[in-house]
Amino acid sequence: MKCNPTDVPPIDEIDVAAVNEKYRLEREKRLRKEGQSQYVRPVDNFADTYEGDPHTPVAPRDAIVEDLDVAVLGAGWSGLTTSVHLRKAGITSFRNIDHAGDFGGVWYWNRYPGVQCDNDAYCYLPLLEEMGFMPSQKFSDGKEIYGYMQQIAKRFELYDNALFHTMVEGMRWDESIKRWRIATDRGDEIRARFVIMANGLLNIPKLPGMAGIDKFKGKMFHTARWDYDYTGGDYDNPVLDKLADKRVAIIGTGATAIQAIPYLGKYAKKLYVLQRTPSTVDARPNPPTDAQWVKALKPGWQAERQANFHRAAMESTILPGDTDLICDFWTEIARNMSAEMEAEGWPQLSVEQFMERRSQMEHRVMERMRRRVEKLIDDKDTAEALKPWYRFLCKRPLSNNEYYATFNQPNVELIDVAETQGVEAMTEHGFIANGQEYGIDCMIFASGFEVTSDLDRRWGIDVFEGRDGTSIYDHWADGYKTLHGMTTSKFPNMFFIGYYQGGLNATTTEQYSKQGEHITYMIKTGLERGILAMEPSEEAEAAYVKHLRETAIDNTDFVKECTPSYFNNEGEAKVNSKGEPIYRFYLGEGYGPGWAAFQKLLADWRQAGNLDGIMLDTDDQ
């Protein structure tokens, strides 16, 4: 079915210069000089509440002492899809190790009311054809995703080996046995030949460092640790009836908050929404999966759909003859542009002309979003405060059908804290915003995750030492240096999955899975050929990084000009040891020539069969 363009205003209704200036001013207003350090680690009793596991009791177990072929650190999507590849490759001696009580990663932890994925489920849920599974609707609920991850783990027999409620605290390469020595908080001593870091991006809840936070006598929790005992209801049935006599405040208006707020508004006696930066929140048509459509699907449909999504969302391209299969807010800019170009008979455009058109369409889409707020919000001041003033993709675009309507309820109050760059302080009985104290019973932190803080803080692994005692944190102090974004010199048999240096895909799970597949190839080759240690040579690594940088798309200006968020390290440049500022997008360093070109580079490398650029050690002396 053809997907129609959206009804965006013409560019001549927008004063682009004035809007850009407004973007700049709004950014300046929010830019905090403390940058990342405005967030703190929770301490004392609150650390347990904030980061402990409310979902599964921690069962005692004996410490494990063992030799293992592969330790996979993480049991979220990257760890799960990688273990599927390991299993399929016939590797049996491996384990997933995770802090959580089950497979699931973010979908294990996040069980707040309304939790749902913002990506097309037919792309996001991997292995659909192989598993014979079909999501029930376009945007899956968290529960469906979590359940599906458990199904995959069962089908590929990953449960027997998995170590849950286990936090890796130290890793040292031991040259005498050519293995990694892994220490955990359960006293385990695991000697793994290979280690795969599949430890995710959104794993540490972020806590705003507000004065007086330790004085508050009411209830506090983070959305990734939702306390249904306090709110009433449960994950299956989030009827938050215990909030009927409670005054609740929620900090944050990001992807998580906009899903939870309609539930809080519905049940709490009073709800304060503490907003620093408004999100763009579009409508969310979420039809059930059409059985006729499913019947008509041909083998290979999911890869085709993911490629279509990637072209439209990441490359802004829907070419003549191509259609937008995804047809949602992620693909709107590309869809609208291609509809207009089709109407003009597909004019030939230079790169500059294409980028100018894209920029105009982006302004038109953002203006549509602001007009949408005006239409849906009754109170004028509230509507003004909810309007987003930044470039599309400076923040993750969102959709929800109930969010804006919640602000028309008499028990819900939006408190804009942009002028003070966040909530000023907490007190014994509530919080202070714009100089006024508000009494509350409960503070909920929808304040996100530590995406851009230093690696040691994010990973929680105090000691991480490769060859000759080199610490990974020193090794990468001036930025990543890797071969293909997955291995690094001085760290033999160590592999990384995530956002480092390589191709990015619009479907995160597809990206992780392809990384897992490549790493599995390397490990299998190592095991088959009796290779005890493999690591990239410094020359190969340097050559790859040089190639990556020479072909990179420079997005410095975009990152610099965006409103602060975890996307751009809170608007702060990272400074390298030469004192040079580096404005980095949180997604690491992408591969300029694109996803398909990166996959070809990896496939050609594997095809050559000689592990080019990798130093091999087969000496067991």
Is residue 426 within the footprint of ligand NDP (CB under 6 A)?
no
Is residue 112 within the footprint of ligand NDP (CB under 6 A)?
no
Using CB under 6 A, which of the segments 93-101, 251-259, 372-380, 479-487 binds ligand NDP? 251-259
Closest approach of Cβ 475 to ligand NDP, in Å? 27
Beta bridge partners of 171: 182, 464
Closest approach of Cβ 119 to ligand NDP, in Å? 6
Number of CB atoms found within 10 A of residue 355's CB: 12
Angle at CA of residue 502, ends 497 and 505, nearest 5°: 80
Longest dimension (CA), the chain: 76
- In the bound state with ligand NDP, the residue whose beta carbon lies nearer, of 222 and 247, is 222
Total of residues contacting ligand NDP (CB under 6 A): 26
- In the bound state with ligand NDP, the residue whose beta carbon lies nearer, of 81 and 184, is 81
Which position among 565, 572, 589, 595 is part of the footprint of ligand NDP (CB under 6 A)? 565
- Is residue 98 left, alpha or beta, with left meaning phi > 0 and alpha meaning psi from -120 to 50? beta
Which position among 256, 308, 400, 569 is part of the footprint of ligand NDP (CB under 6 A)? 256
Which position among 42, 114, 218, 254 is part of the footprint of ligand NDP (CB under 6 A)? 254
Closest approach of Cβ 111 to ligand NDP, in Å? 12
Is residue 118 within the footprint of ligand NDP (CB under 6 A)?
yes
Residues 442-461 that bind ligand NDP (CB under 6 A): 446-449
* 3-state SS record for 367-393: HHHHHHHHHHCCCHHHHHHHCCCCCCC
Helix (H) or strand (E) holding 56: none
At 607, phi and psi to the nearest 5? Answer: -60, -40
Q: What is residue 425's three-state secondary structure?
A: strand
As a residue count, the chain comes to 621
Quick note: the x/- pattern for ligand NDP over 180-219, rule CB under 6 A, is ----------------------x-----x-----------
Is residue 423 within the footprint of ligand NDP (CB under 6 A)?
yes
CA of residue 109 relative to chain centroid, distance: 14
- In the bound state with ligand NDP, the residue whose beta carbon lies nearer, of 198 and 531, is 198
Q: Which amino acid is at 291?
A: A
Is residue 313 within the footprint of ligand NDP (CB under 6 A)?
no
Is residue 417 within the footprint of ligand NDP (CB under 6 A)?
yes
Is residue 568 within the footprint of ligand NDP (CB under 6 A)?
no
Is residue 498 within the footprint of ligand NDP (CB under 6 A)?
no
Quick note: the x/- pattern for ligand NDP over 24-53, rule CB under 6 A, is ------x-----------------------
Is residue 277 within the footprint of ligand NDP (CB under 6 A)?
yes
User: Among 229, 223, 104, 103, which residue's Cα sits nearest to residue 162?
Assistant: 103
Q: Which amino acid is at 140?
A: S
Closest approach of Cβ 388 to ligand NDP, in Å? 10
At a CB cut-off of 8 Å and minimum separation 6, what does 139 contact? 116, 117, 118, 119, 120, 121, 284, 286
Q: What radius of gyration, in Å, describes the C-alpha atoms of the chain?
A: 25
User: Among 408, 105, 444, 382, which residue's Cα sits nearest to residue 257?
Assistant: 444
* 3-state SS record for 163-204: ECCCCEEEEEEECCCCEEEEEECCCCEEEEEEEEECCCCCCC
Query: Which letter does DSSP use for residue 290 in this model?
Result: P
Binding region for ligand NDP (CB under 6 A): 30, 116-118, 202, 208, 251-257, 274, 276-277, 396, 417, 422-423, 446-449, 565-566
